[in-house]
């Protein structure tokens, strides 16, 4: 009996040794310099792109081993939030700009990069300044941007030409275009999948930006001072309500990707609000003769926000100040965020690099070049709604936006909930 | 002395179990109670004590009420569909008429239980799909076009559509449990009843039902507490939408904690779920008994 007990205790004590999993590692596993790299792109083509890039880097730098781990968006957000303030913070990790970046920085574990930018002006001078601005807080740069994006209305050029429609610049013109399309037999002139709350939020973020004056918006998006009492917020949601009537009942039961692939790409719906980053995905599913163009979100006649702003934001990488090999991390990121690798990101990965010169080569879609011009011509880049304000506020906004679309809530009732959510943050 | 030694040995054998329970159940539970009085985010290094604020918010949060109603609906439908109909189906399958094909039907009803919930939910996404879904296509094929709906995108049908998925999956499991219970009933009871002239329905109510009381209790606890902790189905199928139409308590807790990043308030919602399931389990425990008296 005693023996049995002892054996059992020994087993219990040893259990963690056997249970301890081995982490994935490839390339120069025994190298002196180890970097742990964590990002949010486990899907192809980006995952294999990263695998190839890392393999190339490790071949060029045999003394460095990069261990990579990745999980998808929402799970990534959870995971990185959990570990960023601990000692397990990854050496290099991907981050959105705006409030998400601020949250990361608040952990105190993110390295300030001003010296690195200043030490190598040739490299840092190539980064789009609007993108660097997304990672700059009170003059301190905390991230290295690597992609930039914007959200605009994509439209089917052929259908517009057939019906003699002009690209709208104001809300009234936009509604007139949607009505004309409906009259011409396009039952759902505006394609969208509202199951994805972020798709709702992208709309609401832009509508708010166009409608509310910049100062009020900044005050309300700040968790410490947000009130959302400006009556124009209700007007903004009324515009959203109006827009959803052109999306059809089906919108509430499909996701954004389905809407893009089965409605916009097939010509069933002539307009859709899309990100520039979706260009490669769109190119893969559209017929050869499909021609599309884009226009920025139209201006509201009563709107007080800047109508020339573009909703979109850069994404990039941060380095932990707890990293053992900070220099190696910097080297790796400089190598990654360069015209050559930016070109790979833009052609293979599909995102638009924010490195100057990356979008010059062959294999870049014409529309991507047009998109780049649009980003450069925008008065400023307005952050995604879910990077601009506190999650407690935007979740309520997202749920409310969905409920308005299905006719289960009114703009007034949603705003009341938003106000309550904002007040609970003070 | 010998007995004491034996007891000590027994205690030692219980120790690992107790230890695991303490570490993985009781310690987190106590921690959660403490968290529910605090305010903090996932990445924050410090926690602020906020007293009863989280609990006050709990009672004024409209989403809580909506979620609670959905959970109650879930529980009611589950009890009716799984426990009551499961028992009836088990009795039918155990009937002489079905004896030969019993194992075939058992397998058929039990297969959904073996499938991963995620797979089942993805499968039902195709069933409910408004563009090419099986359900709408089927309704159209048999001329019931008027019944086609945007099942998951409509407030009136979304919750019931999600509940239906669970019923499809768990029905066979509960039936199986009842079959096992019915098989344990001594056959002489039925024989005596037949001699007394009792029909099938009479035998079901006077012998089968009272004899499976214990299993009835077990399945009630399983389905009701399952209904109040349900998460996967609404998370995968609708994410709680449209709006908050299919929000349930655990999903609201998850969103509060991991999306809104308010871990303190999420812990308070967790406490609410705990209290509800604990109260319901105890009520059932005391009203149905543990079945001990029957064994004695």
Q: Do A156 and A281 reside in the same domain of the chain?
A: yes
Structure-token match 């981050």, residue found: A95
Provide the token pair at B31.
């921690």
* Residues 6+ positions from B141 with CB-CB distance below 8 Å: none
Q: What is the CA radius of gyration of chain B?
A: 24
Q: What is the ipTM of this complex?
A: 0.82
pLDDT of amino acid A44: 81
Q: Do A291 and A332 reside in the same domain of the chain?
A: no
pLDDT > 90: percent of chain A: 70
For B232-250, write each residue's pLDDT tens digit: 999 999 999 899 999 999 9
User: Closest chain B residue to A390 measured between Cα atoms?
Assistant: B260
User: Could you tell me how far CA A349 lies from the centroid of its own chain?
Assistant: 14
Interface of B with A in 255-274 (CB under 8 A): 255, 258-262
Q: Which of the residues B18, B43, B61 would you substitute to probe the A interface, choosing the one with the greatest number of A C-beta atoms within 10 Å? A: B43
Q: Is residue A366 part of a domain?
A: no
Q: Is residue B57 part of a domain?
A: no
Q: Is residue B41 part of a domain?
A: no
Give the structural domain span for B211.
68-295
Q: Is residue A378 part of a domain?
A: no
Q: Is residue A320 part of a domain?
A: yes
Q: Is residue B78 part of a domain?
A: yes
| CATH for A301 | 3.40.190.10
Q: How many CB atoms lie within 10 A of CB B188?
A: 8
CA distance A64 to A36: 11
For B116-159, write each residue's pLDDT tens digit: 999 999 999 999 998 889 999 999 999 998 999 999 998 899 99
User: Closest chain B residue to A105 measured between Cα atoms?
Assistant: B43
Per-residue pLDDT of chain A (426 residues; tens, 9 = 90+): 445 444 444 444 444 433 333 344 456 777 789 999 999 999 888 899 999 999 999 999 999 999 999 998 878 988 898 899 888 999 999 999 888 898 899 989 999 999 999 999 999 999 988 889 889 999 999 999 999 999 999 999 999 999 999 999 999 999 999 999 999 999 999 999 999 999 999 999 999 999 999 999 999 999 999 999 999 999 999 999 999 999 999 999 999 999 999 999 999 999 999 999 899 889 989 999 999 999 999 999 999 999 999 998 899 999 999 999 999 999 999 999 999 999 999 888 888 898 988 888 788 888 988 998 888 888 888 989 988 888 889 999 999 999 999 999 999 999 999 999 999 888
Residues of chain A with Cβ-Cβ distance to B263 below 8 Å are: none
Q: Is residue A376 part of a domain?
A: no
Picking from B40-44, B92-96, B199-203, which range would have the lowest pLDDT averaged per residue? B40-44
Q: Do A413 and A301 reside in the same domain of the chain?
A: yes
Q: Which of the residues B242, B246, B263 would you substitute to probe the A interface, choosing the one with the greatest number of A C-beta atoms within 10 Å? A: B242
* Residues 6+ positions from A115 with CB-CB distance below 8 Å: none
DSSP B229: S
Interface residue B150 vs chain A (CB under 8 A): yes
Residues of chain A with Cβ-Cβ distance to B62 below 8 Å are: 417
* Res. B18: pLDDT tops 90: yes
Residues of chain B with Cβ-Cβ distance to A250 below 8 Å are: 130-131, 150, 153
Q: Is residue B15 part of a domain?
A: no
**Residue A303, helix vs strand vs coil:** coil
Contact between B44 and A106 using a beta-carbon 8 Å cutoff:
yes
Q: Mark out chain A residues that contact chain B at CB-CB < 8 A.
A: 1, 5, 8, 12, 74, 77-78, 81-82, 84-85, 103-104, 106-108, 194-195, 197, 249-254, 258, 262, 390-392, 395, 399-400, 402-403, 405-406, 408-409, 417, 424
| Pure H helices in B79-116 | 85-94, 102-114
Residues of chain A with Cβ-Cβ distance to B262 below 8 Å are: 392
Q: Is residue B193 part of a domain?
A: yes
User: Closest chain A residue to B255 measured between Cα atoms?
Assistant: A395
Contact between B262 and A392 using a beta-carbon 8 Å cutoff:
yes
Q: Do A108 and A252 reside in the same domain of the chain?
A: no
Q: Do A58 and A96 reside in the same domain of the chain?
A: yes
Q: Do A83 and A135 reside in the same domain of the chain?
A: yes
Give the structural domain span for A241.
151-311+384-423
Contact between B153 and A253 using a beta-carbon 8 Å cutoff:
yes
Q: Do A170 and A112 reside in the same domain of the chain?
A: no
Q: Is residue A7 part of a domain?
A: no
| Helical (H) or strand (E) element with A92 | strand A92-96
For A299-327, write each residue's pLDDT tens digit: 999 999 999 999 988 999 999 999 999 99
pLDDT of amino acid B292: 52
| CATH for B181 | 1.10.3720.10
Number of domains within chain A: 2
CA distance B110 to B124: 18
Number of domains within chain B: 1
The terminus-to-terminus CA distance of chain B in angstroms comes to 30
User: Could you tell me how far CA A409 lies from the centroid of its own chain?
Assistant: 28
Q: Do A162 and A182 reside in the same domain of the chain?
A: yes
CA distance, residue B149 to nearest chain A CA (Å): 10
For B254-291, write each residue's pLDDT tens digit: 999 988 888 999 999 999 999 999 998 888 778 766 55
Q: Do A389 and A412 reside in the same domain of the chain?
A: yes
**Residue A13, helix vs strand vs coil:** helix
Count of residues for chain B? Answer: 296
Structure-token match 């039936």, residue found: B175
pLDDT of amino acid A180: 97
CA distance A418 to A391: 11
Q: Is residue A107 part of a domain?
A: yes
Q: Do A86 and A173 reside in the same domain of the chain?
A: no
Q: What is the CA radius of gyration of chain A?
A: 24
CA distance A380 to A214: 12
| Pure H helices in A184-317 | 197-211, 214-221, 232-244, 256-259, 279-285
Provide the token pair at B145.
């076009």
Contact between B154 and A254 using a beta-carbon 8 Å cutoff:
no
Q: What is the mean pLDDT of residues B62-66?
A: 93
pLDDT of amino acid A6: 46
Q: Do A78 and A108 reside in the same domain of the chain?
A: yes
Contact between A74 and B152 using a beta-carbon 8 Å cutoff:
no
pLDDT of amino acid A55: 94
Q: Kindly give the pairing relationship between strand A33-39 and strand A92-96.
A: parallel
Q: Is residue A51 part of a domain?
A: yes
CA distance A376 to A380: 9
Strand partners, A318: A93
Q: Is residue B253 part of a domain?
A: yes
Q: Do A244 and A184 reside in the same domain of the chain?
A: yes
Q: Is residue B34 part of a domain?
A: no
A101 against B101, higher pLDDT: A101
Please answer whether residues A290 and A265 qualify as being in contact, where contact means their C-beta atoms are separated by less than 8 angstroms: yes
Q: Is residue B9 part of a domain?
A: no
């Amino acid at each position: 009996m005693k023996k049995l007990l002892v054996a059992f205790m020994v087993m219990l004590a040893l259990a963690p040794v056997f249970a301890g999993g081995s982490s994935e590692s490839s390339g120069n596993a025994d190298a002196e310099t180890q970097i742990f790299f964590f990002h949010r792109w486990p899907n192809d083509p980006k995952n294999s792109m990263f695998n190839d890039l890392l393999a190339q880097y490790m071949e060029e730098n045999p003394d460095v081993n990069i261990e990579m781990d990745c999980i998808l968006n929402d799970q990534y957000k959870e995971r990185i939030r959990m570990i960023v303030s601990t000692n397990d913070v990854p050496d290099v990790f991907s981050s959105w700009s705006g409030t998400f970046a601020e949250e990361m920085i608040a952990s105190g574990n993110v390295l300030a990069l001003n010296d690195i930018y200043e030490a190598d002006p040739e490299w840092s001078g190539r980064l789009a300044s609007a993108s660097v601005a997304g990672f700059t807080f009170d003059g301190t740069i905390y991230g290295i941007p690597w992609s930039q994006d914007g959200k605009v209305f994509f439209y089917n050029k052929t259908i517009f030409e057939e019906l003699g429609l002009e690209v709208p610049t104001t809300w009234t013109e936009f509604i007139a275009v949607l009505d004309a399309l409906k009259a011409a037999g396009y039952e759902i002139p505006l394609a969208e999948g509202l199951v994805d709350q972020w798709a709702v939020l992208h709309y609401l973020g832009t509508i708010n930006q166009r409608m509310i004056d910049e100062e009020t918006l900044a005050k309300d998006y700040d968790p410490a001072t947000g009130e959302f009492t400006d009556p124009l917020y209700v007007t903004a949601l009324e515009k959203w309500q109006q827009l959803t009537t052109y999306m059809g009942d089906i919108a509430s039961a499909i996701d954004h990707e389905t809407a893009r692939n089965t409605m916009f790409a097939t010509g069933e719906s002539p307009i859709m609000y899309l990100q520039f980053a979706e260009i490669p995905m769109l190119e893969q599913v559209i017929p050869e003769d499909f021609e599309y163009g884009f226009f920025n979100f139209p201006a509201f006649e009563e709107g007080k926000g800047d109508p020339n702003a573009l909703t979109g934001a850069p994404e990039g990488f941060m380095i932990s100040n707890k990293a053992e090999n900070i220099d190696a991390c910097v080297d790796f990121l400089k190598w990654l965020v360069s015209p050559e690798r930016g070109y790979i990101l833009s052609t293979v990965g599909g995102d638009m690099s924010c490195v100057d010169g990356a979008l010059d080569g062959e294999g870049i879609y014409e529309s991507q070049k047009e998109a780049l011009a649009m980003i450069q011509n925008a008065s400023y880049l307005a952050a995604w709604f879910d990077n601009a304000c506190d999650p407690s506020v935007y979740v309520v906004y997202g749920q409310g936006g969905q409920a308005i679309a299905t006719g289960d809530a009114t703009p007034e009732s949603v705003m009341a909930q938003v106000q309550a959510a904002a007040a609970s943050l003070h | 002395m010998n007995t004491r030694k034996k007891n000590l040995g027994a205690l030692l054998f219980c120790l690992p179990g107790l230890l695991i329970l303490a570490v993985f159940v009781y310690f987190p539970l106590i921690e959660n109670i403490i968290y529910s009085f605090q305010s903090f985010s996932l990445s924050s290094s410090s926690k602020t004590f906020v007293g009863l604020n989280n609990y006050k918010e709990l009672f004024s949060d409209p989403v809580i009420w909506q979620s609670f109603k959905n959970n109650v609906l879930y529980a009611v439908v589950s009890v009716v569909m799984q426990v009551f109909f499961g028992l009836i189906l088990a009795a039918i399958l155990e009937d002489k008429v079905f004896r030969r094909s019993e194992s075939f039907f058992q397998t058929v009803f039990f297969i959904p239980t073996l499938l991963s919930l995620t797979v089942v939910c993805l499968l039902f996404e195709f069933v409910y799909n408004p563009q090419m879904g099986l359900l709408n296509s089927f309704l159209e094929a048999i001329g019931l076009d008027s019944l086609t709906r945007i099942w998951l995108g409509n407030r009136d049908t979304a919750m019931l559509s999600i509940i239906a998925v669970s019923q499809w999956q768990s029905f066979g499991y509960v039936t199986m449990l009842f079959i096992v219970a019915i098989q344990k009933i001594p056959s002489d009871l039925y024989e005596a009843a037949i001699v007394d002239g009792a029909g099938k329905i009479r035998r079901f109510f006077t012998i089968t039902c009272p004899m499976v009381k214990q299993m009835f209790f077990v399945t009630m606890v399983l389905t009701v507490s399952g209904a109040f902790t349900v998460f996967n189905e609404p998370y995968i199928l609708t994410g709680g939408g449209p709006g908050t139409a299919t929000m349930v308590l655990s999903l609201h807790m998850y969103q509060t904690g991991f999306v809104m990043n308010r871990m303190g308030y999420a812990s308070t919602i967790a406490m609410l779920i705990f209290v509800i399931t604990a109260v319901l389990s105890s009520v059932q425990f005391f009203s149905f008994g543990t079945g001990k008296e029957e064994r004695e």
